[in-house]
Chain A
Amino acid sequence: MILGASSNMDIPSIDGDFMGRALPSAHQITPVVFEPEGAIFMPTTMADGNGNTMMFLRATSEQMIERVLRAALAEMGSHVGLARGPYSGLKTKAYVVENTISLAWRIGRAVALCRQTSRLDNVAEVIVDELGGNESARVLFKGKIVEVARKLIKGHLYGEVAIEATDISGKGMVEFEGKLKIPFKNENVMATVELDDGTEQVRVLLSNRS
């Protein structure tokens, strides 16, 4: 629908965002990295759609806004609308992570084509190709989701998903070994594999500086 604003209403849209990947907190963005002092997008409003609207006029930092709004949204049913204040085009050009909207569109198109042509067994490899091949991405694991644990704490959803290696293609071949575990705080944080001999290996780690 964002792209639809361009095609239907001749309103330019920006092919990018300030994260580049999903992160669990709203202040984990490039403008805060380059300008860490003070609040950036003011005023900020939040509403629950049930008659409760709050407005943030001044703040000491984007992290403080995140903490206060996160606490409030937990009281408002963990489902709210958030609108941030305006930001200049000059700074957007300076700090934007480019091409993320078009990349998401290409991944969506690849998945849709796999569904249409009944090639879902290879959807992971097709996504890797769309991302630029083995230099940019790789398939970590294939298997069946056997466990999902979730717990809502102060507006964040914490939990872990476990995926057990299995024969995905039905050709009697299991490509991977063990069980992949992905702990998450709203978004995926890391991926570890518990091998059949009981040892555990870290496959992906999202560091604090990511």
Chain B
Amino acid sequence: MLESQLALYNHINIKPDVMLAIEIGGGNGLQGRCSAMYVGSDSLTFSTQE
């Protein structure tokens, strides 16, 4: 899910401290899922809201 952000930041040559993403969309049952990647470390966390 964060691949698009990685590609964008690589293209404009910016290294953000953190990237956040929220899933939205109609009726796919995936709404509310959030992703975070802390750039510069190996940690990758996911959490799902109710």
Chain A residues with a Cβ under 8 A of chain B: 1-2, 5, 9, 11, 24, 43-47, 49, 53, 55, 78-86, 150, 156-157, 159, 184, 186-187
Contact = CB atoms under 8 A, between A and B. Distances in A.
Nearest to A13: B20
B18 interface: yes
A183 to B, nearest CB: 12
Nearest to B11: A43
B22 A1 contact: yes
Given A45-B8, A82-B4, A83-B8, A11 B18 contact: yes
Contacts of B30: 79
Contact of A81 (B5, B12, B18, B27): B5
B11 to A, nearest CB: 6
Contacts of A184: 26
Contacts of B1: 49, 81
Given A43-B12, A157-B27, A80 B4 contact: yes
Contacts of A86: 12
B12 to A, nearest CB: 7
Contacts of B7: 45, 47, 53, 55, 83
Interface string B8-50: 1001100001101110011110100010100000000001000
Interface of B: 1-5, 7-8, 11-12, 17-18, 20-22, 25-28, 30, 34, 36, 47
B11 A11 contact: no
14 contacts: A1-B22, A1-B47, A9-B17, A44-B8, A45-B7, A47-B3, A47-B4, A55-B7, A55-B8, A78-B28, A81-B2, A81-B5, A83-B5, A86-B12
A84 B18 CA distance: 16
A47 B35 CA distance: 15
A2 B22 contact: yes
A102 B40 CA distance: 30
B4 A45 contact: yes
Given A1-B36, A5-B18, A11-B17, A46 B4 contact: yes
Contacts of B4: 45-47, 53, 80-83
A116 B44 CA distance: 32
Contacts of B47: 1
